[in-house]
Amino acid sequence: MTVTISAPVGYHGRNGGNRAPDVRVVHDLLSRIPPGKGGAGAGLNPNAGYSAQTDQYIYTFQKFHKLAVPDATVHPGHQTLVLLNQLANGGATPQPGPGQPAIPTPVPQPGPGPDVAPLPLLAVMTSTIVGHAYISGFDNKAKQKKGRFRVPLYRLRLGRADTSTGEWKLSTPVMDFDVVRFGVAYDDAAFRENPRYSLFRMQGPPLGEFVLSRANYLKGSWQFKLKPHYYVHDGPDNPHFMSSDIGSPLFGALGCIEICWPGRMKLFDEATRRLAFGNFDEIGFYSPEEADARITKAESFRCIVEAALKPDLLPLTDFRDIGGPPPIRG
């Protein structure tokens, strides 16, 4: 039996489409077509709601059958729906010939290309302490690292944003990252003005909600829409390592959000693109640079910085004398 849908299902159904009855129809058709013929087979639950997986199954089907407009969407009355009906009902892949009309040519639809808008993304800088890190302070005027300090590691959470209530909230799934949130600034001018103050002071990102844009700082980062600038950028590969400044220098931290451990900043960048474009960047629609540019232009990536108590300043004068890591106080 041939079935129909009332509105688009898939990537271009995200604005006004993807109605539950239509999604069930498309899922049912895909589940009745084996993977060997481009379908989902038993791997797709017909009663499952719409998700990015729906887009992926539709796109796989369209590419498998070399359809003219592989836009990860099933449109009412168009080629993808005609072919889904044909194969789900036990028919062979139709071949135009004598006595058999060709599959109707679809009206061109905007595919994943110039008109695709990124989905909203949210990073939340939490107050949750997950460990500790050893860093150098930083003299921003002289652009030099100075001193050695122990600071807490915090949890940064990344996911799609739920904006249905007008507020930006994290939506599942969520990825967690260990980050340095509070750095140590060296300020000789303030010390000369008031010698009661230390040459060093703790510094972190401001509280609030900020739009993030792609920047070239440290070979790739996300910049707060704010002056003075703060960034989400790469941090120490081994924050637990209390190295000497001679031979294996500590990472300098001034107050940006610094993502720790090897490869985690790269993973953060890749995750933003996957979340924004429903995995489309992985299958060749956009280069990383194009994906980042689209996210920046749409201002669809935000960071919420939650309140956290500023940690104590814990300077380390000589690693040989501390007798092990000092405790986090406060």
pLDDT tens track for 51-66: 878 888 888 888 888 8
Most confident listed range (37-41, 87-91, 97-101, 199-203): 37-41
Please indicate, yes or no, whether residues 185 and 260 belong to a single structural domain of this protein: yes
The confidence score (pLDDT) of residue 193 equals 57
> What is the gyration radius of the CA atoms in the chain, in angstroms?
26
Please indicate, yes or no, whether residues 291 and 182 belong to a single structural domain of this protein: yes
Peptide bond between residue 173 and the one before it cis (omega within 30 degrees of 0): yes
* Residue 71 maps to a domain: yes
Please indicate, yes or no, whether residues 77 and 130 belong to a single structural domain of this protein: no
* Residue 106 maps to a domain: no
* Residue 233 maps to a domain: yes
**What average pLDDT is seen over the chain?**
82
* Residue 320 maps to a domain: no
Of 284 and 228, the one with more pLDDT: 228
* Alpha-carbon distances of 284 from 60, 114, 181, rounded to whole Å: 13, 14, 34
Among 35, 64, 88, give the residue marking a domain's end.
88
Please indicate, yes or no, whether residues 61 and 145 belong to a single structural domain of this protein: no
Mean pLDDT for 244-262 is 82
The confidence score (pLDDT) of residue 243 equals 67
* Residue 288 maps to a domain: yes
Of 101 and 252, the one with more pLDDT: 252
Residue 69 lies in domain: 9-88
Please indicate, yes or no, whether residues 279 and 155 belong to a single structural domain of this protein: yes
Question: How many domains, the chain?
Answer: 2
Mean pLDDT for 8-14 is 83
In the chain, the percentage of residues whose pLDDT exceeds 70 is 80
Confidence of residue 147 (pLDDT cuts 50, 70, 90): confident
